[in-house]
Amino acid sequence: MIDRAMTAIRLGILGTGTMGRALARNLADQGHDIAVADADPAKARSIEGGRIAAFDDAAALLASLGSSRALLMMVPAGEPVDAALAAIRPALRPGDIIIDGGNSHPDDTEKRAGEFGRTRIDYLGFGISGGEAGARHGPSIMAGGSPDAIAKIAPFFESAAAKVAGRACFAHVGPAAAGHLVKTIHNGIEYAEMQLLAEAWILMRDGMALGLGDIHRRFGQWRESQIGSFLVEAAHEVLAKIDTDSGRAAIDLIADRTEQKGTGAWASEFALRLGVAAPTLAAAVFARNLSTGRSGIKPPAPTTSGAAGETLLLDLEGGLLAAKIAAFAQGFAVIDAAGRTKGWATERAAVARVWQGGCIIRAKLLERIVAAFERTPGLGNLVDDPAIAETVRGALPALRRIVSAATLVRLPVPALGSALAWFEGRNAPGVGADLIAAQRDYFGAHGFERVDRPGRHHFDWKTP
């Protein structure tokens, strides 16, 4: 629990790009005096006024904050963060708090926190989600770092964060790196849901030959259903957009390829590093890679229409529900594994509550996820919760039918398919790992476990 004791600490923001300026204005609206600076002084000056004071450089900004000061860095991840830290280091002193509010890699954050900690400067990692609108009107904030340092700056960020049922979507999730790890997994789940909705889109458009108006109405119904989420809302609104120049639907003018900025891939890398099965998160990343590397040959897909098409349409909601549960379960499994490996006390219920507002993956499903982790804080996996498991049992038949139908009409559904395979793998009588273990021992003498006795064993495979 964070100590809410107020201090006289003052906050500055270094970096007034899209997110930095939105956060500065949000904080000023909450009654905080904010000092800002940017590598381009004109950008900082452009938002000066009221409670926002602009300075020409970081040193002048820091000097303006007095004796108890915190600096929020809204700087692109990687080398720009290191360059900014090198520039401000001479002006820092023991007791200062540095907050990295960008999408930094958790390993980088852990290293920086250790280096600054040796000079008695607190380095915090804040995962901030919600895009420009969220930053301006209420983001979701996953705070990592020293509890004492976070307690000092919590009043700023609790006031600016999104609110759900009167609760701020701001939580301390562990050490500095934990804040960015939780944000990384947030983005991995974001990739997964976007891919799941994209697969539903092509199933309706190409598999069932539905018109844009019908598909738009279906997304509108889903907004109010159990799979309702910010991303469902975004898809619904995207499909209604008309290009004013051509009069055509905007979606029809957008090339069928997209990029990634890295955080989705990092989520999968952490899953691999920690030995956690998160295939739906990985499938979403690979699907984006595939979108930019296709041959361009597009054979016509047979359509599913009539009664079969109506059945598939009814199955989509249930199938998406099961697949979204899989994506969240996989993401929380990575967070849990990271916490156990690193010794972080990351409370999964608190993470789920923070994600209920302000962030990109906010969804109705999170209310049930919060309840599951509150019922059983030590829950092994989200789908082990009895209520969630019952929902999955009811939705899995629909997911099986969706994946089967998509395969028969030659439509790629890697995220839906991986979610189904993940569920089936958890419940199957066998997954073939016995044959893999035997092969590894055959060519590499790696050994294996036996079903009839403990320990590691090895066969001489060349002897009859």
- Residue 7 has a pLDDT of 46
The full set of domains in the chain, from first to last, is 10-174 (3.40.50.720), 184-427 (1.10.1040.10), 432-464 (1.20.5.320)
Q: Which 3-state string (H, E, C) describes 307-362?
A: HHHHHHHHHHHHHHHHHHHHHHHHHHHHHHHHHHHHCCCCCHHHHHHHCCCCCCCC
- In the residue annotation, 183 being an active-site residue is answered as yes
In this structure, what token pair is assigned to residue 167? 């609760």
CB-side neighbour CA atoms (13 Å) of 138:
15
Strand partners, 163: 168
Catalytic pick among 110, 183, 324, 347:
183
> What is the distance in angstroms between the CA of the first residue and the CA of the last residue of the chain?
64
Q: How far, in Å, CA of 10 to CA of 74, rounded?
A: 17
Using the structure block, give the residue that is written with the tokens 């852990």.
Answer: 110
Q: How far is CA 39 from CA 44, 60, 75, 166, in A?
A: 9, 12, 10, 37
Instruction: Please state whether 66 falls in left (phi above 0), alpha (psi between -120 and 50) or beta.
Output: left
In this structure, what token pair is assigned to residue 389? 């498991």
Contact indicator for 239, 303 with CB cutoff of 8 Å: no
All residues at 6 or more sequence positions from 178 whose CB lies less than 8 Å from its CB, including other chains: 106, 125, 142, 144, 338, 339, 342, 344, 346
pTM: 0.94
DSSP state for residue 207 in the 8-state scheme: I
Catalytic pick among 158, 190, 193, 347:
190
Question: Of 61, 103, 96, 63, which Cα lies nearest the Cα of 81?
Answer: 103
Q: How far is CA 29 from CA 24, 25, 32, 195, in A?
A: 9, 6, 7, 36
In this structure, what token pair is assigned to residue 300? 């016509």
Q: How far, in Å, CA of 157 to CA of 171, rounded?
A: 10
Which portions of the chain are predicted below pLDDT 50?
1-7
Q: Which helix (H) or strand (E) holds 34?
A: strand 34-37
- Residue 262 has a pLDDT of 85
Burial class from Cβ neighbours inside 10 Å (0-12, 13-18, 19+) for residue 453 reads exposed
- Residue 260 has a pLDDT of 80
Residue 329 sits at φ, ψ, to 5 deg, of: -60, -40
Strand partners, 164: 167
